Amino acid sequence: MRRDVDRAVLHCLPARFFYIDLLQEVVEHRAAVAAAAQTEPQQPVPPQLSGRTLERVVVHPLVLLSIVDHYNRVPRDTRKRVVGVLLGTSSRGTFDVTNCYTVSFEEDDKDPRIWFLDHNYHESMFSMFKRINAKEHVVGWYVTGPKLKENDLDVHALFNNYVPNPVLVIIDVQPKELGIPTKAYYAVEEVKENATQKSQIVFVHVPSENAAHEVEEIGVEHLLRDVKDTTISTLATKDVFNLLPNLNVNELIKAFAVKTNDMMLVIYLSSLIRSVIALHNLINNKMLNKEHEKVEDSKPAAVPVVAGS
């Protein structure tokens, strides 16, 4: 019996050693993978939206008009920036920005670390907007650019308290070139290649575009009809200006001067003749009045007749 047990144990030893060797290989493989992950630089991971990666940001016309109006009312002709909150929906990796409102914002030009954003006003405004449209929620914030500044990361961190993975949209209110005046960014944690260096938060660009619903397109068309820009001319106005004569010719300038002088002379003579006729009529009227007075004086006076004489 003891010999049978020893034979069974000896028979199981090779399988036991096989599993031990296999476990050692697995441990060594995991250690190699971990070491390779530490040496290779990690790419920034974009934020997730309902299980999908953020792919684009769509800005509607109402948002652009509100931001331009905010800029023209507050810091026009200055270097100040305006800041506000973006409202909309997020689905299938797309931020659909449909509305916005302004927020009081101040920053120090000398020290970018000093800034103020009235988050209490933001909270009260969002509560009122939520009563009107419950589907819209905070998707991020906007700022008038045209470029990023150092304190934008700090402001972006503040909006992380209200929405996970907010988006920053920079609006160029004074574009110098034709194109989309919006640039969208989201924040990611960038891991350094050197393990001794700390990771930092950086902005990563995300594609943005301008789109509108059918109702918004009708409103924009009616708005453009009332916009009169003298710098933009149509083909009809160009043809009219092309048909105008060249006024820089000396002969044409002399002809205009002679014509103007002739017209002014006629006007002067007409005024002079009108004055002479009026004076002549006045003299004739005086003479007629004197003749009537003489006739009245030359008539004999009537003598009253007394009865019974």
pLDDT tens string 122-173: 999 999 988 888 888 999 999 987 788 888 888 888 898 888 889 999 988 8
At residue 249 the predicted structure's pLDDT band, cuts being 50, 70 and 90, is confident
- HSE, side-chain direction, 13 A CA sphere, residue 154: 10
Q: What is the pLDDT of residue 268?
A: 94
Q: What is the pLDDT of residue 241?
A: 61
* Cα–Cα distance for residue pair 30/32, rounded to 1 Å: 5
The closest of 96, 57, 77 to 173, measured between CA atoms, is 77
Selection from 53-57, 177-181, 183-187, 303-307 with the highest mean pLDDT? 183-187
46-96 per-position pLDDT tens digit:
454 444 467 889 999 888 888 888 888 876 667 788 899 999 988 888 889
The CB density around residue 141, as the number of other CB atoms within 10 Å, is 25
215-246 per-position pLDDT tens digit:
788 777 777 766 655 555 555 555 666 666 67
* Cα–Cα distance for residue pair 95/187, rounded to 1 Å: 15
The closest of 180, 217, 173 to 70, measured between CA atoms, is 173
Please give the sequence-ordered ranges of beta strands (E in DSSP) within 22-166, or none if there are none. Answer: 48-49, 52-53, 56-59, 83-91, 94-103, 105-107, 115-117, 137-144
Q: Which residue has the higher pLDDT, 75 or 253?
A: 253
Residues 89-115 have a mean pLDDT of: 86
* Cα–Cα distance for residue pair 182/145, rounded to 1 Å: 9
Q: Beta partners for 100?
A: 86
Mean of the per-residue pLDDT values for the chain? Answer: 76
* Cα–Cα distance for residue pair 65/212, rounded to 1 Å: 13
- Encoded amino acid at 5, one letter: V
